[in-house]
Amino acid sequence: MMNMRFKSCAALATALLFAATGADAAAEVAHIFWKDLRPATQAIAEDANLPMIAAKLPDHGETLSLNLQDKMIQLAGYALPVDRDGDLVYQFLLVPWTGACSHMPTPPPNQIVLVTPARPYTMKEAYEPVAVTGVLNPGMEKSQLFILDGVSIVQSGYAVRKAEVVSVDTVPDTVTLPVNSPWSFLNKKKN
């Protein structure tokens, strides 16, 4: 009987320790923005009055922010499926604006995150606004993206594996394309 009580107390202590550790881990999530993934000296999309593209940048957008390496982050953006089966998405690119990579030029690698959800994510539409939470790993990776007019190879500068993914209404620091841009139809309507 005493041994059974000891096991119950040990199980309770373990559960409490796990709960406390989980709460601490949740408190350590850094909510970041797209600007945090690029060097402070790099021009932003609004400065050029067009979305930035790697070809226009001196380093082709390959300079990454290593101060976020192995940190638990949360970043909102638009999901573009890379590996899917119907509505279930097993891997996607997180990009800062709608239309990136398929309807318009590809953002630089330091503005693309390759995301592998912890569980397949049910996606209603391409460029669905989502928030991704997980450990950020800088490193160049190439993904094969199937788009309407063929196949494209897209290089991402970051990866988040075993990510928690949730749908969101808006992306706080989204790039809004200028009205005179041929791609302005891709601007998401704000409610």
Alpha carbon distance 132, 113 (integer Å): 10
Query: Can you read off the two tokens belonging to residue 52?
Result: 């930035």
pTM for the whole structure: 0.74
Domain 32-186 carries which CATH code? 2.40.50.870
**Residue 98, SS3?**
coil
**In the prediction, which pLDDT does 173 show?**
75
Place of tokens 């704000």: 190
pLDDT, tens digit, 9 for 90 and up, residues 105-143: 788 899 999 999 999 999 988 889 999 999 999 999 999
First to last CA, the chain: 62
**Sequence-separated (6 or more) residues with CB below 8 Å from residue 98:** 78, 127, 186, 187, 188
Give the domain ranges of the chain. Answer: 1-28, 32-186
**77 pLDDT tier (thresholds 50, 70, 90):** very high
Single out the residue of 64, 68, 57 nearest to residue 106, CA to CA.
Answer: 57
Rg of the chain in Å (alpha carbons): 20
Q: How many CA atoms lie within 13 A of 86 on its CB side?
A: 3
Residue pair 32/74 in contact by the 8 Å Cβ criterion: yes
**188 pLDDT tier (thresholds 50, 70, 90):** low
Question: Is the pLDDT reported for residue 178 higher than 60?
Answer: no
Alpha carbon distance 127, 81 (integer Å): 8
- With a pLDDT cut of 70, the percent of the chain lying above it is 65
Burial class of 132 by CB neighbour count within 10 A (0 to 12, 13 to 18, 19+)? buried
